[in-house]
Amino acid sequence: MPDVIFVGPEGRLEGRYHPGDDELAPIALILHAHPKGGGSMNDPVVLSQFDMFRARRFAVLRFNFRGVGRSQGVYDQGVGELSDAAAALDWVQSFNANAPFCWVSGYSFGAWIGMQLLMRRPEIRGFTSIAPPMNLYDFSFLAPCPASGLVISGSNDQVVPPDDIERVASKIRTQKEIIIERQIIPGANHFFTDKVEELEDRSAKYLDTRLAIIRSELV
């Protein structure tokens, strides 16, 4: 799991990268929570997602947005961070030119960035949106959402209450055969304190089901 430094829009970006087992390994990109709220690529939720994709032989990258850790630049209200995420995906793809598809997993602020990236990159075939801040940011750009995915949060989330997610998620338009699955983890707060293992388990079960479908479509 080597440390990596790659070029971003505003300078160097710091990440951790695990290569896939072969040239046909899919790609996963993990995006962390808000830079101004202590979010980083070393958050337990991010680490858990990273390990989940690594166990499934993905080529997987987690990285720090600009201004976090050793990543250069300053916080840019989400605009620059979306550019960072695009640069990160480009970097992984440069080493995995034959990857059949990509997956994006975002946590909180990272979920907002990840869903915007999804709209711009057709190679992204699935997503995991963890505690997406649908009460704080505009998600109306998902019109329609181009890929199936999982929206998951905690029942005790005080930052993004479940009802706010339900209200927005229910309005997201989808194309034919695109399904957004909604799950709530009982007792979990926004940080998934003592619930990270359950979050990983639920995410993994969903991912395994979707991988079987995606791979059958690629045959």
What's 60's domain CATH number? 3.40.50.1820
Q: Residue 90: count other Cβ atoms within 10 Å of its Cβ.
A: 13
Dist. CA 96–CA 147, nearest whole Å = 21
- In the chain, how long is the greatest CA-to-CA distance? 43
Q: Identify the pLDDT of residue 61.
A: 98
Amino acid 32 reads H
Sequential pLDDT tens for the chain (219 residues):
589 999 999 999 999 999 998 999 999 999 999 999 999 999 999 999 999 999 999 999 999 999 999 999 999 999 999 999 999 999 999 999 999 999 999 999 999 999 999 999 999 999 999 999 999 999 999 989 999 999 999 999 999 999 999 999 888 888 888 999 999 999 999 999 999 999 999 999 999 999 999 989 887
Token pair in block for residue 182: 């909604």
- pTM, two decimals, is 0.97
Crossing angle of helices 79-95 and 109-120, rounded to 10°? 60
Relative to beta strand 59-63, strand 11-18 is antiparallel
Which domain covers residue 24, as residue numbers? 3-218
| Residue 104: predicted pLDDT | 98
pLDDT at 1: 59
What's the total number of domains in the chain? 1
DSSP letters for 158-209: SSS-HHHHHHHHTT--B-TT--EEEEEETT--TT-TTTHHHHHHHHHHHHHH
The pLDDT assigned to 171 comes to 85
Count CB-CB contacts under 10 A for residue 209.
12
Distance in angstroms (rounded) separating the CA atoms of residues 133 and 165 = 8
- The answer to whether the beta carbons of residues 59 and 27 sit under 8 Å apart is yes
